[in-house]
Amino acid sequence: MTKKFLIFTLCLFILGTFISACGGGGKTTPPNSPFFPIPTPTPATYPLELSKTEFTVNIGETDNITVTLNGEDITQTATYTVDQEAIATVEAGLITGISVGIATVTVHAENAEADKTFTVNVIDPTLPSLEVNPTEVDLIIGEEGAVTITLEGKDVTEDVTYTVDDKSIATVEKGKITGNNEGTANVTVSLTGANSAIFKVNVKYLEVTLNDEVLEQLGYQKVKNGNYYDIKKIEDGTIVTNLEIPATFQDNENKKCKIIAFTKCYYS
């Protein structure tokens, strides 16, 4: 009897150990416990590549764009969103001109780093076309520029309509352009009885190197102190021991600047 009891007890011990190891007894943390979360893998993303970013198509005619992602042609499966479908349509990469004007098309694809855009200028070959000079304008934030619009040699700069796709970047009125914020804006120029035109406005900060002149525009001066320099506030002469240099500032000409380099240490 004693021998059978010992064998029975040993079997119970082995069975209990096995159950505990497999999660029995309610003491093992479940796989989905918040204490041991299962990480969700982040899918890889790739840049979209467009064969062209500007198309000119006659009314009723077609053209094609090719879209690739990580070297693979995804033209047929990409999603195309046209801001003005009355001007043009895009389906599986096939662009069709509907009416005179310029449409912007946004291309989206799964696993793409970001959407891409391209423009479609639909023209009527029987109509004259507006011409823009220059077709690309570079400005510093707060700076002003200008373009000239002509139609068959006649200056129509003040007669055309300007449509800016992002007015936070730039604004245009009668050919006068103002850079508002860093970025690129597309401007459509239109006039009844003529084919539209488009130009780009690139706006950025004025990139400067931190030197004595820039330091003064920030409100400080270097003052010789023996073998070293002190930095003082111009306003009240206070010596500054910890000078915080802003990444961007507005200079004396109201241009927004970005400090990209230093000439030398101001304390030696």
Question: What is the distance in angstroms between the CA of the first residue and the CA of the last residue of the chain?
Answer: 95
Looking only at the bridges linking them, the beta strands covering 176-179 and 116-123 are unpaired
Q: Which residue ranges make up each domain of the chain? A: 48-123, 130-204, 207-262
- Domain 130-204 in the same topology as domain 48-123: yes
Report the amino acid identity of residue 45. Answer: T
d(CA 88, CA 98): 5
Going by the DSSP 8-state scheme, the letter that residue 129 receives in this structure is B
β-strand partners of 67: 50
Q: How high is the pLDDT of residue 138?
A: 97
> What is the fold, at CATH topology level, of the domain defined by 130-204?
Immunoglobulin-like (2.60.40)
**Residue among 169, 176, 172 nearest 140 (CA):** 169
Looking only at the bridges linking them, the beta strands covering 206-210 and 256-262 are parallel
Which SS3 state, helix, strand or coil, does residue 219 take?
A: coil
- Model-level pTM? 0.69
Q: What is the pLDDT along the chain (268 residues), one digit of tens a residue?
A: 555 554 555 555 554 554 454 444 444 555 555 556 677 777 789 999 999 999 999 999 999 999 999 999 999 999 999 999 999 999 999 999 999 999 999 999 999 999 999 999 999 999 999 999 999 999 999 899 999 999 999 999 999 999 999 999 999 999 999 999 999 999 999 999 999 999 999 999 988 888 888 888 888 888 888 888 888 889 898 888 777 777 788 888 878 888 887 765 544 4
CATH code for the structural domain at 48-123? 2.60.40.1080
Order across the sheet with 220-225: list the strands: 220-225, 228-233, 239-240
User: Which residues have CB under 8 Å from 50's CB, separation 6+?
Assistant: 65, 66, 67, 107, 116, 118
